Structure 1
Amino acid sequence: MTPPDPSTLPATFSDPQRAWAYRPAQPLRTHPDGPLAGLTFSVKDLYGVPGWPLTGSTRAPVPDPGESVLVRGLLELGAAAVGKTHLHEVALGITGANGYGGTAHPHDPARVPGGSSSGAAVSAALGQVDFALGTDTGGSIRVPAAWCGVAGYKPTKDHPAWSTEGVLPLSWTCDHAGPLARDLGTIVRVHEALGGGAVTAQDWQGVRVGLWLPEGWTDATVRDAVLAYADDLRARGAAVTPVALPEMLDAYSPIVLSEAARVHAEALKQTDPGFLPFTLMSLRSGAELTKAQVQAAHTRRAEYRRLLDDLLAEYDVLLAPAVPTPPPLIGQDEVTLLEGPQMLRRAVLRLTAPFSLLGVPTLALPTLARYVGIQLVGRRGADERLLGLGLGLHPLNRAAPGRSRLRLPGPARPTLRS
């Protein structure tokens, strides 16, 4: 694959992970003060920023989404944009592969960082920025957060603080905008500044937790890390009960692929528009779906939404794995789970896609297991409650003004079960 165009990066800037799509000579600042003054952020290369290129990390032509409302708002609040980060090509994937060489893990160049917000996670994990803007359509914030050891937040769908206007879409049904950072306190600070509502640390005493850990869907490392988290929540006073949810890819995949094909319809008119082979195959398969097939997927989505709403009426929060294994090797298409071999894409998406498909707020947080994360899933619209529960796990991680350097640890004193 062709390496990144060196003209988009300063000559003195080292980027061995190929995380950055564009870095101007100076960060973009529009206001010298404000509640986010002193913080820097990276911008996933799906967000429209006037004067900055937008490629979607593909060699194919992409539509112009206009100016990002979210980026403009962050700049007006005093934050400074450092540049744009690479992603899995047009956000249609979970590893970080793209038309510019692909992005590597921040600490192990042989492994993937996760996607599609791959460069965003790397920029946060390496401390190159205080927080990173990503997007999440099926796990694209949570997967790289888990595999890179940072925190990620996918808000409720269409949350007014986290606008997707001016962001190149993948699927308008499932797209979310959100942040990644090394500490949850920075995420909370940004959320509050954007008008998302005040967040206070929540005690876990009496919290009803549904443990979603489908048998065989992870390897032993992830299973034990999730069970350790559950034990820690019990020690904090939570009531943890196993729950069940079905795989929802039969609704997710037709909706996302059909909508992605409409987004890239002009490029698909060309015989070879410049997409990677897997991306082109996926987009063309989406274009071939019939209206009846897509409508049937939306009908199943409505059924799944009622199922999840009923579950979250019984439980305050769900605890689930964010990834099925630690980060796989670059080029690895299959993983070995407790149930046996499974294709990597399905193994990942069946854990994360339900919560973007159904639009509920979700936090991805690291665990004591290296590069393994969990998900905390809240009720639709209860973002501040969910973030507060996260702060309740890590009360010292509320960010102080200025540049944050705190890392987010996993829960303390885990007891692993076999």
Structure 2
Amino acid sequence: MTPTASDPPTSDPHRAWAYRPATPLAGAPGGPLSGLSFSVKDLYGVAGWPLHASTRAPVPEPGPSALVRRLLDLGADAVGKTHLHEIALGITGANGFGGTLHPSDPRRVPGGSSSGAAVSVALGQVDFALGTDTGGSIRVPAAWCGVAGFKPTKGHPAWSLEGVLPLSPTCDHAGPLARDVKTIARVHGALTGQEVGAQPWDGLRVGVWMPEGWTDGTVEQAVDSFAAALTSRGATLSPVAFPEVLDAYSPIVLGEAARVHAQALELNDPGFLPFTLAALRQGQALGDADLQTAFARREEYRAVLGDLFRSFDVLLAPTVPTPPPLIGQDEVEIGEGRTPLRRAVLRITAPFSLLGVPVLALPTGTPSVGVQLVGRPGEDDRLLGLGLALEEGR
């Protein structure tokens, strides 16, 4: 009998899991990742496991995931599939199966779209989780669930998107979440064949992107404390500015998502949640000129970021505008006043998915508040090494 998704069982009170087989898929014995277990976001194709992308609507079949296969070959055990924000189009964790709950406060959202991935890690159910990040979908739940997450450089050969149901081919990234950077670095090193070592902060030029009014006081204080820790390690910090990019990001993602799900959208009632369906219909309505304009703006933003990286080695930014909001909360109170939740979150994280640069999301000393370390394209190992140095107290 072919397995199917079902409503979460009582043994999964956080509704993190989309599918758990009776027996995990065992990794190859003796590999560099032997002894580690991982969960798989339900966008990755796994032979014999269902794929629903946490929606009641029909979705395309992406084929088997090359990354899952590679991790199994390296020795890690795949435990099961985790829920996500429906089809990965959102940042709270809502979906067609009830939505995932925050690991320590069920009144609040865990973040998305890799909600179940973050919760499975935060609860210690797995050693690491496979997520995806199109506009913050690894980093936001990492911050709100108090774990680490890594979005590699777009197109990084170790983090294949083959066999992953896309949302936006332009902005999609595969990546891991874990309770510590050490585990992420171990997985990355096994995939690349190159061990990641701690990197010194002394002498580094750090640009601090802290847009005025975009966060609340709790987040601002957490970022200030984190910045002070970098200064104490010999880094030189200076403020930087960067524009809001949602005028490019949103048309690209919605337009591409509508194409991915075009077959379902031909149905009168495809089965998506109302917000998801409205967003996809919005993407359907975009014309070629709208997308051309968005891609042109993307290139303008790429040039701005390139200029920053000529003056700075790494950027520091908040990951989220506030601690996790309540379930159903559509706005957040930040320095500039009440702001729609989607905009408040995505304008902080989306630039770095839109532009494809590597980002390491780290927890801070403030619960459910995280920071982003942003590196130059291709400097993934260096970025992870900087995170390792912080974790090791160097």
Q: Quick one: distance in 2 between partners of 1:65 and 1:313?
A: 39
The answer to whether the Cα contact below 8 Å between 1:154 and 1:176 also exists between their aligned partners in 2 is yes
Q: Which residue of 2 aligns with 1:278?
A: 275
**Please, which of 306, 327, 332 is the counterpart of residue 329 of structure 2?**
332
Q: Which residue of 1 aligns with 2:87?
A: 90
> Residues 217-236 of structure 1: CA distance to partner in whole angstroms, max 9, x if unpaired?
00000001001111111111
Q: Which residue of 2 aligns with 1:161?
A: 158
Match status 1:5 vs 2:2? no
Q: Which residue of 1 aligns with 2:302?
A: 305
Q: Quick one: distance in 1 between partners of 2:359 and 2:142?
A: 12
Aligned residues: CA RMSD: 1.2
Q: Which residue of 2 aligns with 1:199?
A: 196
By how many angstroms is 1:108 displaced?
A: 0.5
Gaps of 5+ in 2: none
Match status 1:128 vs 2:104? no
Letter in 2 for 1:393: L
Q: Quick one: distance in 2 between partners of 1:200 and 1:19?
A: 32
Q: Quick one: distance in 1 between partners of 2:220 and 2:179?
A: 23
When structure 1 is superposed on structure 2, of 29-38 and 209-218 the one drifting more is: 29-38
By how many angstroms is 1:196 displaced?
A: 6.0
Match status 1:244 vs 2:245? no
> Residues 184-212 of structure 1: CA distance to partner in whole angstroms, max 9, x if unpaired?
10000000000163311011111100000
Q: Quick one: distance in 2 between partners of 1:78 and 1:228?
A: 38
Q: Which residue of 2 aligns with 1:407?
A: none
Q: Which residue of 2 aligns with 1:59?
A: 56
What SS class does the counterpart of residue 382 from structure 2 fall into? helix
- TM-score, structure 1 normalization: 0.92
By how many angstroms is 1:86 displaced?
A: 0.1
> Residues 242-295 of structure 1: CA distance to partner in whole angstroms, max 9, x if unpaired?
000000000000000000000000000011100000000000100110000001
Give every structure 1 segment of 4 or more consecutive aligned residues whose post-TM-superposition deviation is greater than 6 Å: none
Match status 1:258 vs 2:243? no
Q: Quick one: distance in 2 between partners of 1:241 and 1:381?
A: 23
Q: Which residue of 2 aligns with 1:268?
A: 265
Letter in 1 for 2:86: E
Q: Which residue of 2 aligns with 1:215?
A: 212
By how many angstroms is 1:30 displaced?
A: 4.3
What SS class does the counterpart of residue 72 from structure 1 fall into? helix
Q: Quick one: distance in 1 between partners of 2:101 and 2:184?
A: 24
Q: Quick one: distance in 1 between partners of 2:20 and 2:131?
A: 17
Superposition pairs for residues 2-401 of structure 1, below 5 Å? 5=6, 14-195=11-192, 197-395=194-392
Q: Quick one: distance in 2 between partners of 1:105 and 1:49?
A: 26
Q: Quick one: distance in 2 between partners of 1:287 and 1:341?
A: 29
Aligned length: 390
Letter in 1 for 2:139: R
When structure 1 is superposed on structure 2, of 112-121 and 197-206 the one drifting more is: 197-206
What SS class does the counterpart of residue 192 from structure 2 fall into? coil
- TM-score, structure 2 normalization: 0.97
**Percent sequence identity over aligned pairs:** 72
The answer to whether the Cα contact below 8 Å between 1:75 and 1:81 also exists between their aligned partners in 2 is yes
> Residues 331-378 of structure 1: CA distance to partner in whole angstroms, max 9, x if unpaired?
000000011000000000000000000000000000011110000000
By how many angstroms is 1:33 displaced?
A: 2.1
The answer to whether the Cα contact below 8 Å between 1:160 and 1:196 also exists between their aligned partners in 2 is no
By how many angstroms is 1:152 displaced?
A: 0.1
> Residues 36-90 of structure 1: CA distance to partner in whole angstroms, max 9, x if unpaired?
0000000000000000000000000000000000000000001000000000000
The answer to whether the Cα contact below 8 Å between 1:161 and 1:196 also exists between their aligned partners in 2 is no
> Residues 14-45 of structure 1: CA distance to partner in whole angstroms, max 9, x if unpaired?
11110000000011014122000000000000
Letter in 2 for 1:42: S
Q: Quick one: distance in 2 between partners of 1:269 and 1:172?
A: 21
Q: Quick one: distance in 2 between partners of 1:381 and 1:120?
A: 25
The answer to whether the Cα contact below 8 Å between 2:27 and 2:34 also exists between their aligned partners in 1 is no
Letter in 1 for 2:6: D
Q: Which residue of 2 aligns with 1:400?
A: none
The answer to whether the Cα contact below 8 Å between 1:259 and 1:286 also exists between their aligned partners in 2 is yes
Gaps of 5+ in 1: 397-410, 412-418
What SS class does the counterpart of residue 373 from structure 2 fall into? strand
The answer to whether the Cα contact below 8 Å between 2:27 and 2:78 also exists between their aligned partners in 1 is no
Q: Quick one: distance in 2 between partners of 1:390 and 1:184?
A: 6
Q: Which residue of 2 aligns with 1:399?
A: none
What SS class does the counterpart of residue 194 from structure 1 fall into? helix
Q: Quick one: distance in 2 between partners of 1:79 and 1:30?
A: 5
